[in-house]
Structure 1
Amino acid sequence: MSVEDFEELVDKAPRELRNRLEFLGGRLCIRHGPLDVDEFEELAEAAPETVRLEYINGKVVVKAMPDGNHGEIFMWLLRQCMQQRPELNLMPERGVKAEAYRKGRARADGFLAPVDHFRGHGEWSETDGALMAVEITSHDRDTDQRDRKDKPVGYAEADIPVYLLIDRDNNTVVVYSEPKDGRYQQSPSYLWGATVPLPPPVSITLDTEALKNYAD
């Protein structure tokens, strides 16, 4: 997050939240205790397009803007999903109510669900009926905590059947499945180039050879 983005966020934020926002060490910080979910939603709704906010473990975090390789990887996955399961949509940049009691607010890079599933939804969708959440790591300092630690828990607690993590730092694909008691019971990891089976209810097989083209 840049200083300019922070200043624009403060300018657009609800008046009662403006004096609680700080920018320290390149990170967005909240003064006077954490925001609650309703306050976060107000702030996220007012945020400029260049600032993508999430609410994870009771903390407001800024999700990095995607670069070109990130976008190409998403399109690669979208094509595979459409070819094998045309009755499903892989919705990009979908806000979802994650974590226990739906208290978290995550912006999944992709959210797989039946066609028309999101019709009539607001900014944050319930996870009922969703098949898979997708995250593609970005090269920012928060990706380890956010994508590899917090989101497997948040998505499992929301009973999303499959969480697909495409890890650009390790050149791996991790398939989390079988959520139970707030944890995924299975999480096999595959090197880019492997054939990756996504378990039911997704039931898609990924040929990941093309991911080698996007190794950074």
Structure 2
Amino acid sequence: MTAVHDEIMTTEEFEELARLAGRVSEGIRLEFIDGRLGAKAPANGDHGRILQWLIRVFILARPDLFLSIEQGLQVDAYRKGRARPDGALTDADAFVGQGEWAEPAPVLMVVEVTSRDRDTEHRDRREKPVAYAATGIPVYLLVDREFAEITVFSQPVDGRYQRRVTVSIGDSVELPEPVGLALDTEPIKAWV
């Protein structure tokens, strides 16, 4: 996350800023994690293609679930943080009637696909696993294009994922319950 402001901001101030930013530029995606304001880089075609592929995988393997793209979630301690994961796996109606920043309780898994920006190390590899675990999201799938790896974080306990499995893109990896799916990542090689 690229810090644009080092002072503490309230959640309400962030939501207003995010709403205004969305009106000014459709490419800007703001997040507010651990009291820090940040912006995600606009996704490129390969990033989007990986998400399309994951949507198809889940439609075929788990038709009872749906991967929602960029649904805002309330994360972090006391739900004061705001994150916009690349994907949130839930049942199809989980976000019906919710606003821009939904409760994370129905989320079974979040997905992040790294962008080619300077803040990926801090945002996707350090901040997000802590925020998602603290929120109790059971599984975090990180598609790391820089290192050509897939990391699956699971078993959140006391704000930390207890289990972390990393494989090379192209290998198969198990998405543990409540997802319960073996993911063959060979097709992703074309988009890394």
Q: Answer whether TM exceeds 0.5 for this pair.
A: yes
Secondary structure at the counterpart of residue 187 of structure 1: strand
Residues 115-134 of structure 1: CA distance to partner in whole angstroms, max 9, x if unpaired? Answer: 11110010001111210010
**Distance in 1 separating the partners of 2:110 and 2:77:** 16
Instruction: Please say if residues 81 and 204 of structure 1, whose CA atoms lie closer than 8 Å, have aligned partners that are also in contact.
Output: no
- Counting aligned pairs with the same residue, the percent is 48
Residue identity opposite 1:196 in structure 2: V
Displaced runs of 4+ in structure 1, greater than 3 A? Answer: none
8 Å contact from structure 1 (residues 195, 205) kept in 2: yes
Give the Cα separation in 2 of the matches to 1:91 and 1:111: 5
- For 2:84, what is the secondary structure of its paired residue? strand
Q: Could you tell me which residue of structure 2 aligns to residue 79 of structure 1?
A: 56
- Structure-1 residue corresponding to 2:12: 38
Q: Which residue of 1 aligns with 2:76?
A: 99
CA RMSD of aligned residues (A): 1.1
Structure 1 residues 5-154: aligned runs within 5 Å = 29-30=4-5, 33-47=7-21, 48-154=25-131
Q: Displacement, 1:53?
A: 0.4
Q: TM-score, normalised by structure 2?
A: 0.95
| Alignment length (residue pairs) | 188
Structure 1 gaps of 5+ residues are: 1-26
**Aligned residue in 2 for 1:210:** 187
- Listed one character per residue, the Cα deviations across residues 141-180 of structure 1 (whole Å, up to 9, x for unaligned) are 0111000000000000000000000000010100000000
- What is the TM-score when the length of structure 1 is the normalising length? 0.85
Contact 2:74-2:82 at 8 Å conserved across structures: yes
Shift of 1:78: 0.9
> Structure 2 stretches of 5 or more lacking a match?
none
Q: Which has the higher contact order (CA 8 A, sep 6+)?
A: 2
2:150 counterpart residue number: 173
**What amino acid is the match of 1:119?**
V
Contact 2:3 2:38 in 1 (8 A): yes
